[in-house]
Amino acid sequence: MIKKILFVLLGAFLMLLTILLVNTFRLDNTQIEAELNQPVDRNPDVMLNRFSRALQYQTISGDMGDQRNMDEFYEFLDFIDSEFPLVHQQLRHTRFNDLTPLYFWEGSNPDLDPILLMGHYDVVPVDSTDLDEWLHEPFSGAVEDEYIWGRGTLDNKFNVMMLLESVEYLLENDYQPERGIYMVFGHDEEIGGDDGALAVSQFFQEQDTRLHFVLDEGGLVIDGVLPTDRPIAIIGIAEKGYLSLELVARSSGGHSSTPPSDKSIIKLSNALIKLEQNPFPARIDGATELMFDSIGNKLPFGLQMMYGNRWLTEGMIKNRMSRDRSSSALIRTTIAPTMLRAGVKDNVLPTEARAVVNFRILPGDTFESIKDHVRTVIDDESITIREYDTISTRPSAVSSVEGSVYQALQESIMSHFQNVYVSPYLVVGATDSRHFIPIADNVYRFSPIEMNNEDLGIIHGINERIGVDNYLNSIRFYVDFIQKTTQ
């Protein structure tokens, strides 16, 4: 009897092992091979000098309502007009709210929907207390040690300048696109894009303009972040939504010498602790699922087996991803208390305590489901919950990874970088591209630069910089991609 049971158990084990192995080896290979694309015959010293000077304009967008130095913005726009004469002379162009330029390169076939290429030239402020830690002045544009240094090198003047260099080069070489090309360079992306990209999108909608696709910042080539034998070029095919809620707790207040049991700060603190202890449930779907489908068979064998058999291991995968803040953000709506305010004096109990909690919303969740979760978890009717008066955007739809545009993007990436894998990706931040979702079925987010873990930490940070070769070589990518998608 015992032998029969052992044989049954052995048979069941072998059957399970067979299923696991079959599912593992069935993971598709979505990667392609591509020939190296042609170099761009432009003087590298001239291009570097132009980029260096572009970084010296302090086009800073601070918090909402902060006063900008408008002269810096206008001078930057005059600078690009003078430095890219063919773009300025041959492309139709206008400015929205005086500061966001829109260029149009008319295609030879007006029946084809145009494409939209994007960047933004506003940058975040530099913390004055960090200045001593910068190896070069934040707005110096210094070219030293094989890097270009300064605020905007990574976010996002490099996109603006690379696109302009690429289009100027194509104009010099008499390229004529069959499909029209729009370029828009926002001046207020860092504070929401309402006066820039959103204004352009509203104009397009009024004109019934439909876009073939949009390409903006958001993805890049990352090395050492995932356990693969090559860097991975991640293409943002969706982005999370953005919502902030303000929680307000009230009490009778009073003197600190005789504190009541009902304290606004304690009520608010308890609410925040409950939110921290009750995260949104994890889901592996949409763009994140497509990412794993794309690179699943490039992971170490144990992880291949785990992902290939999600019917059995999904809980393990979620637990593993939840332990890392970057991967956790890919599988759930995140909760982040960001602002607190209460009290006016150390011996006075405040009658009111306020907190702002920011949510980055996973596609599939909604504003309404976020609010329902918060109400249910806090479970305190005395705490007022309302939308905070700032940016709020719903999560985007997921763009196709099957069509010709994604294929062209993958081919251009492989042609440019060669030894990389290409994968779709969920962008956890927000980009100006979200404003164009109503008029484009496919919105992609990718910039052709290589970064590692250390580099990721300097976006918006101290010693922001980009490698000289990284910058120069990326112009070749745009030249190739523009031709692939407009012929």
pLDDT value for 67 = 67
Is 34 part of any domain?
A: no
Q: What is residue 243's predicted lDDT score, i.e. its pLDDT?
A: 95
For the chain, the domain total comes to 2
Task: Indicate whether 8 belongs to any domain.
Answer: no
One-letter identity of residue 35: E
pTM of the model: 0.90
Q: Are residues 356 and 399 in the same domain?
A: no
Active-site residue identified among 122, 188, 190, 411: 122
Task: Round to whole Å and give the CA distance between 297 and 338.
Answer: 39
Q: What is the DSSP string of 291-330?
A: HHHHHGGGS-HHHHHHHHTHHHHHHHHHHHHHTSHHHHTT
User: Are 408 and 379 in a shared domain?
Assistant: no
Structural domain contains residue 124: yes
Residues 363 and 264 in one domain: yes
Interatomic CA distance for residues 123 and 186, integer angstroms = 11
Which 3 state secondary structure label does DSSP give 83?
helix
What's the pLDDT at 7? Answer: 66
Q: Domain range spanning residue 309?
A: 238-387
For residue 67, being part of any structural domain is answered with: yes
Which of 387, 418, 433 is the C-terminal boundary of a domain?
A: 387
Same domain, 74 and 215: yes
Whether residues 399 and 324 fall in one domain: no
Residue 328 lies in a domain: yes
Nearest to 446 by CA among 182, 185, 235: 235
Give the CATH number, domain containing residue 185. 3.40.630.10
Tokens found for residue 325: 């803040």
Query: Is 382 in the same domain as 412?
Result: no
Q: How many CB atoms lie within 10 A of CB 380?
A: 15
Instruction: Answer whether residue 16 is part of any domain.
Output: no
Going 310 to 313 to 318 to 320, the CA torsion angle's sign is negative
Same domain, 338 and 192: no
Domain edge (last residue) among 368, 387, 406: 387
Residue 7 within any structural domain of the chain: no
How many angstroms separate the Cα of 79 from the Cα of each of 56, 111, 244?
Answer: 11, 34, 37
Q: In whole angstroms, what is the distance from residue 17 CA to residue 23 CA?
A: 10
Q: Catalytic annotation on 122?
A: yes
What is the pLDDT, as a whole number, of residue 31?
A: 77
Give the domain-ending residue among 323, 353, 387: 387
Kindly state whether residues 222 and 273 are assigned to the same domain.
Answer: no
Non-local (6+) Cβ contacts of 233 within 8 A are: 219, 220, 221, 413, 417, 420, 421, 422, 423, 446
Q: Does residue 18 fall inside a structural domain?
A: no
Rg (the chain; Cα; Å): 26
Looking at the structure, tell me whether residues 183 and 301 fall in a common domain.
Answer: no
Nearest CA to 256 among 343, 322, 171?
343
Whether residues 147 and 75 share a domain: the answer is yes
Instruction: Examine the residue annotation and report whether 106 is marked as an active-site residue of this protein.
Output: no
Bridge partners of residue 480, in order along the sequence: none
pLDDT at 453: 76
Give mean pLDDT in consecutive 10-residue pieces for the chain, a chain of 487 residues: 66 64 65 75 94 98 74 98 98 97 97 98 91 95 96 95 98 97 97 95 98 96 87 96 96 88 94 97 95 90 87 91 91 96 94 96 96 97 91 92 94 90 94 96 95 84 94 93 96
The verdict on 93 and 197 lying in the same domain is yes
Residue 55 near residue 141, CB atoms below 8 Å: yes
- Sequence-ordered list of residues with C-beta below 8 angstroms from that of 219, at least 6 positions apart, any chain: 233, 234, 235, 236, 425, 427, 444, 445, 446, 447
Contact indicator for 85, 99 with CB cutoff of 8 Å: no
Spatial separation of the C-alpha atoms in residues 168 and 165, rounded to whole Å: 5
What pLDDT score does 260 carry? 87
Tracing tokens 């956890």 back to the chain, one arrives at 428
What pLDDT, on a 0 to 100 scale, did the predictor assign at position 391?
80
Which tokens sit at 121? 């030239």
Helix (H, G, I), strand (E, B) or coil at 376: helix
Candidates 168, 188, 189, 216; catalytic one: 189
CATH number of the structural domain spanning residue 349: 3.30.70.360
**Are 383 and 400 found together in one domain?**
no
First to last CA, the chain: 73
